[in-house]
Amino acid sequence: MSIPHDNIIAYKLLNDGSILKVLNEDLLSFFININIISVYFYKEKRLYIWKGENVPRNLQNHIPIIEEQIVKLNPNISILRHFTIEGVKEETTEFLDLLKINQEDFKKQLEEWDDFRGRMLTSIEILQNEIKEHFANKEFREIQIKAKNIINIAEKIQANDIIKEQEKTIQQIKEKPEEEEISSKTKPLIEEESESLKEEAEPLKEEAEPLKDEEAEPLKDEEAEPLKEEEAELLKEVEAEPLKEEEAEPLKEEEAELLKEEEIESEDYNHLLRQANLIESRSPNETKEILTKCLDIITKNREKFIEENPKRVKDEAILEKRI
C-alpha cells in the first residue's frame, strides 16, 4: 500500500461539526464504522466523504457543512465533483483505488474495529445488568461507579445514546439521597395523618353500619335518651322475660290457626319493642313507626294480649305517650 501523500488531504468529522486534519500515513486506521472521513484529491479535484455503517445520527447531520469547511481551510482548491459513500460497497472501490489502498486491508481494518466494538458492547451489557442488581439493593454508590465505567467504554466506540443514558442515571442517583431524606421526613407525617383519619372514620363506620336483630348492641348510657321509669321498666321486662309456648288442648283447625297467628304477633311485639328501644336515639322516625306497629298488635285484640301478657297492662298507654 502506498497512499499518494502529495495528491490528497484528509479530515475527520468531529462531534461538534468541525473537522480535524488526518496524517496521510495514519489514514487507514481512521476507517472504522463510527467515523466520517473526507478526502480531497488535488489532481482529480474530487471530494469523497466516506461514512461508516455505525455513525451516530448527530454526526451525520454535520455532513452538509464538510465541503464548506474544507474550502475555507484550503482556499486555493476547487471541487468539481463531490461523492458521499458508505461502508464497503461498489462505489467504494474507485475511492480505494485512488487512495491505492488494498480492499482486503480495508475490510480487515473494518472487521478488527467491529470485533473491538462488539467486545465493548458486551462489557457495557454486563455492567448494565450489574447496575440493575445494585438498584434492587439500593446500592447507589456502586451504581455511580458502574455508570461512569460504562461511559468510559462507550466513549471509545462513540456510543452516544449509551453515554446519555448513563449520564442520566448518575444524575438520578445524585438526587436520590435528597429524595430519600424528604421521604423519611414525610412518611411519618403521612402515617400519622392516615392513623388520625382512621380514628375519625371508625365512629362513622359504627354509626353507618345497619343494626341487625341479633348483632345490635344496647345503646350506651350516654348515647340513649333517659327513659322514664315506666318506659325503663318496660324495656327491662322485654329483655328479661322469655317467651313461653302456649299449652293448649287440641282445638279445631280454625281455632288452632287463630292461636298460631296470635303467638306470632306476641313474638313480633317483643321483638319490635326491643328493636325500637335500641334505635330510639338514632332514628326517631323509624322508632315511631315500630312503636306504632306494637300498638297495633295490642289494639287488635286487647283482651287476649293482656291475658297472655298480664305484666304489660300499661304498655298501651306508654306506647301512645311515646308515639
Confidence of residue 122 (pLDDT cuts 50, 70, 90): very high
Q: Flag whether 224 is in a domain.
A: no
Residue 246 in this model has a pLDDT that exceeds 50: no
Q: Flag whether 126 is in a domain.
A: yes
- 123, 171: one domain: yes
The C-alpha atoms of residue 271 and residue 288 are separated, in whole angstroms, by 15
Counted domains in the chain = 3
> pTM score, two decimals?
0.50
**Which residues lie below 8 Å from residue 5, measured CB to CB, with a gap of 6+?**
24, 25
Q: Which has the closest alpha carbon to 286: 296, 299, 276?
A: 276
Q: Flag whether 289 is in a domain.
A: yes
Confidence of residue 215 (pLDDT cuts 50, 70, 90): very low
Domain span including residue 260: 229-322
Q: Which has the closest alpha carbon to 15: 64, 53, 70, 62?
A: 62
pLDDT at residue 233 in the model: 53
Q: Flag whether 95 is in a domain.
A: yes
**Which residues lie below 8 Å from residue 106, measured CB to CB, with a gap of 6+?**
28, 31, 88, 92, 96
- 95, 16: one domain: yes
* Domain end marker among 149, 165, 180: 180
**Mean pLDDT computed over 93-117:** 92
Q: Flag whether 305 is in a domain.
A: yes
Q: Flag whether 207 is in a domain.
A: no
Q: Flag whether 94 is in a domain.
A: yes
Q: How many CB atoms lie within 10 A of CB 125?
A: 11
- 138, 175: one domain: yes
* Domain end marker among 180, 200, 218: 180
Laid out side by side, the sheet with 19-22 consists of: 19-22, 8-13, 36-41, 46-51, 81-86
pLDDT at residue 307 in the model: 81
Contact (Cβ atoms closer than 8 angstroms) between residue 52 and residue 87: yes
Residue 249 in this model has a pLDDT that exceeds 90: no
Q: Flag whether 205 is in a domain.
A: no
Q: What is the CATH number of the domain that holds 37?
A: 3.40.20.10
Grid cell locating 120: 465493548
Residue 203 in this model has a pLDDT that exceeds 80: no
